[in-house]
């Protein structure tokens, strides 16, 4: 797959240019389950690398416009492999609001690897500057849109700040896959995805991915960490991820359209005090989102006028929205996020997180309205 003449993400995702069986010319990729290979053929042992991973990595590389890609057994495996590869003594600047499990790892577990972390308020560029420790900060971590308030950070501006300080910019772009945002083009050094979510899109694969703009020494250390920690993505999971990516563009268009419809409807609902969706003109990050996103994605949150008790009731009353964790599948999900994150969570207890799926938008709106008592 060396022909880079077609670079549009929609084309790359749908066509899988160049991936076909050499003998039969099959247009659909095959599962490649071998774990060991004859010497001299380019592979040795699957934990280090294998052709099953190689196919999906090449597609992800092209989707993001990067130099190289790696897939992992989960998003957490991808993120932690990247961070520990910075080396003991490294300082990381990371947002206060982000994927909760990774935030907890940074705060509680990263010190065991010799890493220190300073948190900044999401989207606040001055706070990022202030948090940087000259000569010590090795990476600025940005999640945009940020889970679960969907705040927006200006990627290009954050990249400039990080690079001026001699640091790298790492972007968690899980909720804004490359048909919506391409962070490497905006100055990011590495893009991370929990590929379990929108990249796969079918809630049936646990996977993570990193795409880099430079295959440098850091990238080699990440590759070593993946093999050393055993975070390799299996061959069948790689094939499922590749299958899911093929419909990425059309899925994201429908996710974005449905989420916009639901957000507009929730604005008019008296049971809702706040609608958090970057596609809304009054969202604090709307102008930046318009600049760096093609569509606003399928994630949003609502806060309820009735507070915590109303939120707890609503998640039990939906019929189409499923009360479950995770996001990015074809089905719509709803979650009372604060109690899931636990007592240390900064998430408001009246907040419901919605992963808006591919169902009929009118049906989704009707389901929420009946659950909210309207």
Catalytic (active-site) positions: 47, 99, 172, 197
Q: What's the residue count for the chain?
A: 374
294: tokens are 């093609």
**Pure H helices in the chain:** 9-15, 51-64, 75-84, 100-104, 125-131, 155-164, 217-229, 235-245, 248-267, 286-292, 307-317, 337-341, 361-371
Q: 3-state class of 209 per DSSP?
A: strand
Find all residues with CB under 8 Å of 173, minimum gap 6, and list them.
144, 181, 183, 191, 192, 193
**What is the side-by-side strand order in the sheet with 299-304?**
272-276, 299-304, 351-355, 333-336, 322-323
* Helix, strand, coil percentages for the chain (3-state, nearest 5): 40, 15, 45
Q: Tokens 């940087």 — which residue?
A: 132
Rounded Cα–Cα distance for residues 101 and 225 (Å): 20
Q: What angle do CA 79, 343, 277 make, to 5 degrees?
A: 60
Other C-beta atoms closer than 10 Å to the C-beta of 373 total 13
């Amino acid at each position: 797959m060396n022909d880079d003449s077609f670079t549009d993400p929609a084309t790359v995702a749908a066509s899988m240019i160049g991936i076909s069986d050499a003998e039969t010319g099959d247009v659909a990729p095959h599962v490649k389950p071998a774990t060991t290979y004859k010497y001299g053929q380019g592979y040795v042992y699957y934990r280090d690398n294998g052709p099953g991973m190689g196919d999906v990595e090449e597609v992800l590389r092209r989707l993001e416009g990067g130099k190289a890609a790696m897939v992992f057994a989960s998003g957490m495996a991808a993120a932690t492999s990247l961070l520990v590869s910075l080396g003991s003594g490294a300082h990381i600047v990371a947002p206060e609001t982000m994927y909760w499990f990774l935030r907890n790892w940074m705060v509680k577990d990263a010190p065991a690897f010799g890493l220190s972390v300073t948190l900044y308020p999401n989207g606040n560029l001055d706070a990022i500057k202030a948090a940087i420790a000259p000569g010590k900060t090795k990476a600025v971590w940005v999640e945009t849109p940020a889970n679960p308030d969907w705040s927006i950070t200006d990627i290009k501006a954050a990249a400039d700040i990080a690079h001026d300080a001699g640091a790298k910019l790492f972007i968690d772009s899980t909720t804004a896959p490359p048909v919506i945002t391409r962070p490497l083009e905006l100055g990011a050094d590495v893009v991370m995805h929990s590929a379990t979510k929108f990249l796969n899109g079918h809630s049936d694969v646990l996977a993570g991915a990193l795409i880099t703009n430079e295959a440098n020494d850091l990238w080699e250390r990440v590759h070593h960490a993946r093999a050393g920690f055993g975070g390799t993505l299996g061959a069948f999971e790689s094939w499922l991820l590749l299958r899911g990516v093929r419909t990425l563009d059309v899925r994201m268009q429908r996710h974005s359209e449905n989420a916009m419809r639901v957000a507009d409807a929730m604005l008019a609902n008296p049971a809702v005090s706040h609608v958090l969706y970057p596609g809304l003109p009054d969202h604090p990050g709307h102008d930046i989102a318009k600049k760096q996103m093609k569509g606003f994605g399928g994630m949003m949150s609502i806060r309820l006028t009735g507070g915590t008790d109303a939120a707890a009731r609503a998640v039990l009353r939906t019929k189409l929205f499923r009360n479950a964790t995770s996001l990015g599948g074809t089905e719509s999900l709803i979650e009372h996020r604060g109690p899931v994150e636990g007592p240390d969570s900064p998430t408001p207890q009246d907040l419901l997180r919605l992963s808006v799926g591919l169902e009929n938008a009118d049906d989704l709106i009707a389901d929420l309205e009946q659950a909210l008592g309207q």
